[in-house]
């Protein structure tokens, strides 16, 4: 567009078909234009005495007046505004002043909202399956969905805490992708992995919860004739070897333990009287992660013997590795849906929904404590 586009044409030269602002739908556009012009220093030309004309608006005749505006650089724009609106506000100059005040207030308000959003810490919550994040999405308020590389992230508030929730899909690679996008786009102050797992500790039953005090990738190994050696991957930047076991910060672990004492969990019912008879247990333990659904006594024994793992799943330590490499605190919460043995597939089908809810409840409790801690910061920190 050249500068001539801003030159005012004489009113008489305008054709009747020239677009004019005569209906409600167009009025916001005029206001946005005025907003913009007000920002770049517009003043009304003294010669631009409102000139009335009658234009048809929908089913109604509306009296309009033409308003010419000249920018500080001399460019002129012309608008036809409903006259009644201008008359209601008195002189045009007064209307412009009010308009500028409103604009400044609106800008200040948006700046305040933006500042609050960017300075308030946000907790990221990642689950592999829809059911693992469903209860958390339901409990959240003001959720806004944002798709990044096709992955949905729901940002809102959970238990008073600013939170972003995402579904990773299953397995270590998907988990690493979601974790990386989360860290890069939301800069969370902590990442919580939530969901179900297969139990390995014989003292734990379906429905019990494991707060991971350590996570380990059970398939990040060197296989030799002499046996299996677990080794961390090398950090891609520093070249240093990652630890085999990733740990949450003590503060986050403590918050999770505390939350577990405050949350009512759902008992998992078995018809034959199995796990129903015990109340839900929450332990701090070791969660082993690998790209395998474990439904084998042999494998569960191996994971227990080699790693002393309490539960096995397919994402936790992958997220923990990404968080470790980016320096973001991470904790993994799991509720047992099965015991990783021959009946694991059927057990999971039967108990996964309730187990997912129990894990989500604990995450809710963690967010609540984080939100409360934010209001009354620990003086030692």
**66 touches ligand ADE (CB under 6 A):** no
Nearer to ligand ADE, 191 or 335 (CB): 335
DSSP 19-58: ----STTTHHHHHHHHHHHHHTTEEE-TT---EEEEEEET
Secondary structure of 287-354 in the HEC alphabet?
EEECCCCCCCHHHHHHHHHHHCCCEEECCHHHHHHHHHHHCCCEEEEEEEEECCCCCHHHHHHHHHHH
Among residues 70, 139, 338, 341, the one annotated as catalytic is: 338
Q: Which stretch binds ligand ADE (CB under 6 A): 174-182, 235-243, 273-281, 307-315?
A: 307-315
Q: Is the backbone of residue 175 left (phi > 0), alpha (psi -120 to 50) or beta?
A: alpha
Q: How far is the CB of 309 from ligand ADE (least distance, A)?
A: 11
Considering only 210, 314, 335, 370, the residue that binds ligand ADE (CB under 6 A) is 314
Q: Is the dihedral of CA 188, 189, 194, 199 positive or negative?
A: positive
Tell me, yes or no, if 117 is annotated catalytic.
no
Half-sphere exposure at residue 56, Cβ-oriented, CA atoms within 13 angstroms: 4
**293 touches ligand ADE (CB under 6 A):** yes
**174 touches ligand ADE (CB under 6 A):** no
- Cα–Cα distance, 42 to 121 (Å, whole number): 40
Q: How far is the CB of 348 from ligand ADE (least distance, A)?
A: 5
Q: Is the dihedral of CA 347, 348, 353, 356 positive or negative?
A: positive
Q: How far is the CB of 143 from ligand ADE (least distance, A)?
A: 26
Nearer to ligand ADE, 204 or 371 (CB): 204
Q: Which stretch binds ligand ADE (CB under 6 A): 77-85, 96-104, 274-282, 312-320?
A: 312-320
Q: How far is the CB of 203 from ligand ADE (least distance, A)?
A: 17
- Cα–Cα distance, 370 to 161 (Å, whole number): 7
Q: How far is the CB of 308 from ligand ADE (least distance, A)?
A: 17
Q: Which stretch binds ligand ADE (CB under 6 A): 29-37, 74-82, 215-223, 291-299?
A: 291-299
Nearer to ligand ADE, 320 or 348 (CB): 348
- Cα–Cα distance, 294 to 174 (Å, whole number): 18
Q: How far is the CB of 303 from ligand ADE (least distance, A)?
A: 10
**312 touches ligand ADE (CB under 6 A):** yes
Q: For residues 235 and 242, is the Cβ–Cβ distance under 8 A?
A: yes
**313 touches ligand ADE (CB under 6 A):** yes
**133 touches ligand ADE (CB under 6 A):** no
Tell me, yes or no, if 132 is annotated catalytic.
yes
Q: How far is CA 183 from CA 129, 137, 321, in A?
A: 20, 20, 12
Nearer to ligand ADE, 196 or 255 (CB): 196
DSSP 337-373: EE-SSTTHHHHHHHHHHHHHHHHHHHHHHHHHHHHHH
Residues in the chain: 381
Q: Which stretch binds ligand ADE (CB under 6 A): 45-53, 136-144, 151-159, 340-348?
A: 340-348
Touching ligand ADE, residues 183-242 (CB under 6 A): 196-198
Nearer to ligand ADE, 310 or 313 (CB): 313
- Cα–Cα distance, 30 to 80 (Å, whole number): 9
Catalytic residue set = 132, 338
Where on the chain is the footprint of ligand ADE (CB under 6 A)? 196-198, 293-295, 312-314, 337-338, 340, 344, 348
């Amino acid at each position: 567009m050249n500068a001539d586009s801003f030159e005012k044409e004489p009113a008489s030269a305008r054709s009747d078909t020239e677009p004019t602002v005569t209906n409600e739908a167009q009025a916001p556009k005029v206001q946005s234009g005025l907003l913009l012009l007000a920002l770049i220093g517009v003043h009304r030309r003294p010669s631009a005495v409102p000139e009335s004309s009658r234009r048809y608006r929908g089913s109604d005749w509306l009296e309009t007046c033409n308003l010419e505006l000249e920018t500080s650089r001399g460019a002129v724009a012309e608008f036809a505004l409903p006259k009644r609106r201008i008359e209601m506000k008195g002189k045009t100059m007064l209307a412009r002043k009010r308009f500028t005040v409103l604009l400044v207030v609106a800008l200040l308000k948006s700046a305040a909202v933006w500042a609050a959003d960017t300075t308030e810490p946000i907790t990221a919550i990642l689950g592999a399956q829809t059911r693992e994040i469903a209860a958390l999405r339901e409990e959240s308020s003001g959720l806004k969905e944002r798709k990044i590389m096709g992955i949905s992230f729901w940002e809102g508030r959970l238990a008073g805490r600013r939170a972003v929730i995402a579904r990773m899909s299953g397995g270590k690679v998907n988990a690493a992708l979601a974790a990386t996008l989360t860290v890069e786009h939301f800069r969370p102050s902590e990442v919580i992995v939530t969901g179900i797992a297969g139990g390995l500790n014989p003292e734990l039953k379906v429905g019990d919860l494991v707060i991971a005090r350590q996570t380990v990738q059970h398939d990040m190994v060197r296989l030799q004739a002499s046996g299996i050696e677990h080794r961390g991957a090398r950090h891609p930047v520093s070249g240093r070897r990652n630890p085999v076991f990733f740990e949450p910060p003590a503060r986050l672990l403590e918050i999770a333990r505390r939350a577990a004492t405050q949350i009512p969990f759902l008992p998992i019912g078995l018809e034959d009287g199995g796990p129903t008879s015990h109340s839900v247990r929450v332990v701090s333990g070791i969660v082993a992660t690998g790209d395998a659904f474990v439904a084998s006594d042999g494998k569960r024994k191996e994971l227990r013997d080699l790693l002393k793992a309490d539960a096995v799943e397919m994402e936790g330590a992958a997220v923990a590795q990404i968080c470790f490499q980016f320096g973001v605190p991470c904790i993994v919460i799991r509720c047992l849906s099965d015991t990783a043995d021959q009946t694991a597939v059927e057990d999971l089908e039967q108990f996964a929904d309730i187990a997912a809810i129990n894990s989500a409840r604990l995450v809710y409790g963690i967010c609540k404590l984080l939100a409360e801690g934010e209001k009354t910061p620990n003086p030692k920190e």
